[in-house]
Structure 1
Amino acid sequence: MEPGHRTQGSVLMVSSAVGPSGNSAGTAQVDLHAKSTHRKLLAAGLIGSSIEWYDFFLYGTAAALVFPHVFFPNTTALMGTLLSFSTFWAGFVARPLGGVIAGHFGDRHGRKPVVVACVSAMGLATFLIGCLPGTATIGAVAPILLVVLRFAQGIACGGQWGGIALLLTESSSPKRRGFAGTFGQMGVPLGVILGNVAFLMATAVMSNSAFLSWGWRIPFFCSALLFPVVLYIQTRVEDTPEFRQLQREAAGNGQPKVLQAPLTEAIRHQWLTILLGCGLLAATNCVFYISIAGVLSYATAELGMNRSELLAVSLLSSLISTGFILWAGAMSDRIGRRPMILIGAVALIVWAFPYFWLVNTASLLLFFVAVAVGGVFQSMTYGPLAAYLGELFEPRVRFSGASLAYQLAAITISGATPLIMTALIARTGSTTLVSVFIALMGLITFGCAWALRETNPAEVRKDPQALPGVRLPG
């Protein structure tokens, strides 16, 4: 939040909200309704984010286990994996574009309509991937269409994160924004869990040949579950109190509270904050994508480990991470955003080499320890980020600034990480340089968090009206 900018309400209002009463009983009734409304918003944010990330990460699991056989069958195993991960990266290349487009419309027209549009687009693109014929059926057109649909997934994903994060945090009390933001952040590991469960169930009930032939499509068809969430948000949820206040101020005095070019303003006045915000995600994104995609391919192809067992380990590790994301966000409300991120970054630097020492034993138990502990440390940096990135920007450019920072990390780090990991191991025959890469990402996160200001200092935690932040000229 910015100096002098008071929150316009502690909860998101829905169309059925009751008006305030003049007596204590009426006030209590309004408070109960507000709390119920806010709980429903948190639930909708968690469910929508989980299914959205399920769609996005489902592709990563398929890229490691299925797509080399279906879309790149006439290549070597290594080349098929590299090509498959290259299409995986296409989604991350598209995410900054999605963030730019969504930020522009989200700062001008509201958070809610952007969330509805992005979630709908993600569900449709994922469903169509499940319908896509393989290379054996339609030839080279198949991988081309795969890249197009993956790109569409990336645009939708690039827009939805900022929209859901701001719906949750801008509608919460200043003292609870870290906690509220985690209901969007927890969608990431929960999406991984849903994707792994879908693949585990598919592989458990059919032969490997049937799975590679048609069974892998079933998890993609499940993306249709997003549409009830879209309907709920569209019909029951209004935009955030802060954005509606900007609209009222613009209508009341003609001031440019809702900007015509919010992205331009954000880049002009806070370009350094955007770059540093991008760096905050370096360590958490690196370890996360190694754990859910790169290491799965490495462990099955190079270490000979069982695919289903690895998916089960990934599922359990993601479940642990979910709880630590919630804890980290809540702790950032109590001790500040930066301390949690700094501690997590240091822990990931220290864990970079033990991570692969344990993985390379090919022991399922030690593999679990490596991935689970890494997940705990990266969750410490990821949990507070929904609140922190939003608070670094003024409300009228918040969607644009926060989305651009978050999605720049997608194209520079997230999508490239499995590809970089596979290439480094193929070139050196060792995982040592991958550990060096993780440690380097940890140093970047630590340095960026150190350079940025604290948005939830002690004076704010004691008095939520004393909100620090940045004001743009004009």
Structure 2
Amino acid sequence: MSTTKEKIPMYIGKDGRELRRVLTSSYVGSMIEYYDFVLYAAASGLIFNRLFFNDLPPAVATVAAFATLAVGFVVRPLGAVVFGYFGDRIGRKSVLVLTMSMMGAATALMAVLPTRDQAGVLAPILLIALRIVQGLSVGGEWGGAALMAFEHANPRRRGFAAVFATAGQPSGSLLAGVVLAVFALMPEDQFLSWGWRVPFALSAVLVIFGLWIRVRVSESPLFVVEQERRAASTERVPAPLIEVLRRPGTLILAFVALLAPFLSFTLSGAFGITFGATHGLTTSSVLFISSAGSLVCIAGELFFAALSDRIGRRPVMIGGVIVGAVLVLPFFALLQTGTAWGALLAFALINGLAIGATFGPLAAFMGERFQTGSRFTGLSLGYQIAATIGGGFGPLILTALIAGDPSDVTPIVWFIAGVAVLSIVALLLSKERTVEAPPVLGEIDNPVAHAPVAVETAK
């Protein structure tokens, strides 16, 4: 008897060439979007507080800069609803081209913004306006990129396929951190004068490259089948948002499940970088170290996404939430050593284990909550609401918790532990389910004509 395990291909159809193009597009597009978004996040606590809010006391200026970071997150759910509607009605591909163009334009324009000293109150107003455009575009970008990979892939390999959009996030963080760190090596007066602008201007080059890749991929086969079904049907189709809100429990559980993962993301992002820079590390060194943590995160996400295809999304994500809560105190203790090795270990642990195990299966977990006709809206909205609370307001909340005594991180430890409990409960109440039945392998020649059909509804 042969003991060789059946090798399940990731693609549907005759070969995997189209899926490889889709995965490349999802990865590169998400990387560019998060290069832009994380570049702003890193700059908010290191640069913008000194250039756009320098009329305020230093601590207040940092809070104000983080508030502009939060503004981008606040509008992300709106972007999810708007772009989700068009993604569910017109198509995934066209929306992704639009969101990338918007994001790149907003980031490139930040490179030429006047500072507070040059334009007075107009400077932060323009900064906030561009930040809003960033937030709206990200609201639709990640969901569309994840869905393109999710809906082109074999249902039994969707975890690993969809993670390529998620892995683009730490890749963008890595690129943004390295580029900003290189320019931070400049003399401080030159860096604050013009050096910080160059990483933002580079976004325009990246976007041109990303658009060239993105326009070459085909539309989602499941979306094409859904469009054909609707064209042949006489029934009135409700708006995607209405369809999602008819099952509010699914959306609420998904949102709560993602709160703890996004707080871990906040720790390794804007808040962690700023905390490290105020505890003995230089700006450039903490940016380089954070970038190294992003490399570990990519490896962790790929590994745990593949594991979720074997044992399920929930066990992997619950394990990641628990580890994330346990690692909070060691994370701060290592940063407070003020050493490069301590910071490197801190960022590697939180990125590889906590973020890797939660964000790795996340795209497939969310995609499996919703039907094709409302999946773009449901997936994006649940994800972006959690991102707004955990990622947008996270730095503000964590900063406020230690405002009285910056050396005492106990309030942060207890706060994250409480949120972790909520996320674990939500994951336990969620069901392991796929809303499409796997196709019969080896019998599909045309992925559009033979795309899987819905057999189970997400309740």
Residue pair 2:32, 2:210 contacting (<8 A) in 1 also: no
Give me the whole-angstrom Cα distance separating, in 2, the residues matched to 1:67 and 1:314.
Answer: 19
Query: What SS does structure 1 have at the residue aligned with 2:375?
Result: helix
Q: 1:94 aligns with which of 59, 75, 95?
A: 75
Give me the whole-angstrom Cα distance separating, in 2, the residues matched to 1:314 and 1:221.
Answer: 22
Q: 1:138 aligns with which of 119, 128, 135?
A: 119
Q: 1:347 aligns with which of 318, 323, 327?
A: 323
Query: What SS does structure 1 have at the residue aligned with 2:56?
Result: coil
Give me the whole-angstrom Cα distance separating, in 2, the residues matched to 1:444 and 1:374.
Answer: 19
Matched residue type, 1:93: V
The aligned residue for residue 430 of structure 2 is 452
Give me the whole-angstrom Cα distance separating, in 2, the residues matched to 1:190 and 1:349.
Answer: 24
The aligned residue for residue 359 of structure 1 is 335
Q: 1:237 aligns with which of 185, 208, 217?
A: 217
The aligned residue for residue 330 of structure 1 is 306
Answering whether residue 270 of structure 2 is matched by residue 283 of structure 1, we say no
Structure 1 471/311 Cα, relative in aligned 2: closer, same or farther at 3 Å? closer
Give me the whole-angstrom Cα distance separating, in 2, the residues matched to 1:53 and 1:373.
Answer: 21
The aligned residue for residue 362 of structure 2 is 385
Please report how far the alpha carbon of residue 357 of structure 1 lies from its aligned counterpart in structure 2 after TM superposition.
Answer: 2.3
Q: 1:76 aligns with which of 54, 57, 61?
A: 57
The aligned residue for residue 103 of structure 2 is 122
Give me the whole-angstrom Cα distance separating, in 1, the residues matched to 2:19 and 2:458.
Answer: 28
Q: 1:431 aligns with which of 409, 419, 427?
A: 409
Please report how far the alpha carbon of residue 262 of structure 1 lies from its aligned counterpart in structure 2 after TM superposition.
Answer: 1.0
Give me the whole-angstrom Cα distance separating, in 1, the residues matched to 2:140 and 2:288.
Answer: 30
Give me the whole-angstrom Cα distance separating, in 2, the residues matched to 1:215 and 1:143.
Answer: 19
Give me the whole-angstrom Cα distance separating, in 2, the residues matched to 1:337 and 1:296.
Answer: 30
**1:55-454 equivalent positions in 2, closer than 5 A:** 55-204=36-185, 206-224=186-204, 225-234=206-215, 236-256=216-236, 259-268=237-246, 270-301=247-278, 303-376=279-352, 377-429=354-406, 430-454=408-432
The aligned residue for residue 24 of structure 1 is none
Give me the whole-angstrom Cα distance separating, in 1, the residues matched to 2:376 and 2:292.
Answer: 33
Residue pair 2:276, 2:343 contacting (<8 A) in 1 also: no
**Per-residue Cα deviation, 1:165-188 (whole angstroms, up to 9, x for no partner):** 111100111111101111100011
Give me the whole-angstrom Cα distance separating, in 1, the residues matched to 2:296 and 2:147.
Answer: 25
Query: What SS does structure 1 have at the residue aligned with 2:284?
Result: helix
Residue pair 1:164, 1:184 contacting (<8 A) in 2 also: yes
Residue pair 1:392, 1:469 contacting (<8 A) in 2 also: no
- Which segments of 5 or more consecutive residues in structure 1 lack a partner in the other structure? 1-8, 13-29
**Per-residue Cα deviation, 1:275-300 (whole angstroms, up to 9, x for no partner):** 11111211211011122111221222
Give me the whole-angstrom Cα distance separating, in 2, the residues matched to 1:228 and 1:306.
Answer: 32
The aligned residue for residue 30 of structure 2 is 49
Give me the whole-angstrom Cα distance separating, in 2, the residues matched to 1:277 and 1:357.
Answer: 31
Give me the whole-angstrom Cα distance separating, in 2, the residues matched to 1:372 and 1:280.
Answer: 23
Give me the whole-angstrom Cα distance separating, in 2, the residues matched to 1:82 and 1:365.
Answer: 28
**Per-residue Cα deviation, 1:355-384 (whole angstroms, up to 9, x for no partner):** 222222223212222221111222101111
Matched residue type, 1:330: A
* Superposition TM-score, scaled by structure 1 size: 0.88
Please report how far the alpha carbon of residue 260 of structure 1 lies from its aligned counterpart in structure 2 after TM superposition.
Answer: 4.5
Residue pair 1:349, 1:443 contacting (<8 A) in 2 also: no
Query: What SS does structure 2 have at the residue aligned with 1:73?
Result: coil
Query: What SS does structure 1 have at the residue aligned with 2:202?
Result: helix
- Which segments of 5 or more consecutive residues in structure 2 lack a partner in the other structure? 1-8, 442-450
Give me the whole-angstrom Cα distance separating, in 2, the residues matched to 1:213 and 1:469.
Answer: 57
Answering whether residue 446 of structure 2 is matched by residue 470 of structure 1, we say no
Matched residue type, 2:41: G
Please report how far the alpha carbon of residue 467 of structure 1 lies from its aligned counterpart in structure 2 after TM superposition.
Answer: 7.3
* Superposition TM-score, scaled by structure 2 size: 0.91
Query: What SS does structure 1 have at the residue aligned with 2:111?
Result: helix
Please report how far the alpha carbon of residue 10 of structure 1 lies from its aligned counterpart in structure 2 after TM superposition.
Answer: 7.3
**Per-residue Cα deviation, 1:71-126 (whole angstroms, up to 9, x for no partner):** 01122211111111000111100100100101111111111111111111000111
Percent identical = 37
Greater Cα offset, 50-59 or 424-433 = 424-433
Give me the whole-angstrom Cα distance separating, in 1, the residues matched to 2:357 and 2:140.
Answer: 24
Give me the whole-angstrom Cα distance separating, in 2, the residues matched to 1:284 and 1:450.
Answer: 15
Give me the whole-angstrom Cα distance separating, in 2, the residues matched to 1:350 and 1:197.
Answer: 28
Matched residue type, 1:94: V
Give me the whole-angstrom Cα distance separating, in 2, the residues matched to 1:178 and 1:394.
Answer: 17
**Per-residue Cα deviation, 1:194-243 (whole angstroms, up to 9, x for no partner):** 10111122123x31111101110111111111123223323x22211111
Query: What SS does structure 2 have at the residue aligned with 1:66?
Result: helix
Residue pair 1:460, 1:468 contacting (<8 A) in 2 also: no
Give me the whole-angstrom Cα distance separating, in 2, the residues matched to 1:110 and 1:428.
Answer: 50
Structure 1 439/247 Cα, relative in aligned 2: closer, same or farther at 3 Å? same
Structure 1 358/10 Cα, relative in aligned 2: closer, same or farther at 3 Å? closer
Residue pair 2:143, 2:379 contacting (<8 A) in 1 also: yes
Structure 1 231/461 Cα, relative in aligned 2: closer, same or farther at 3 Å? closer
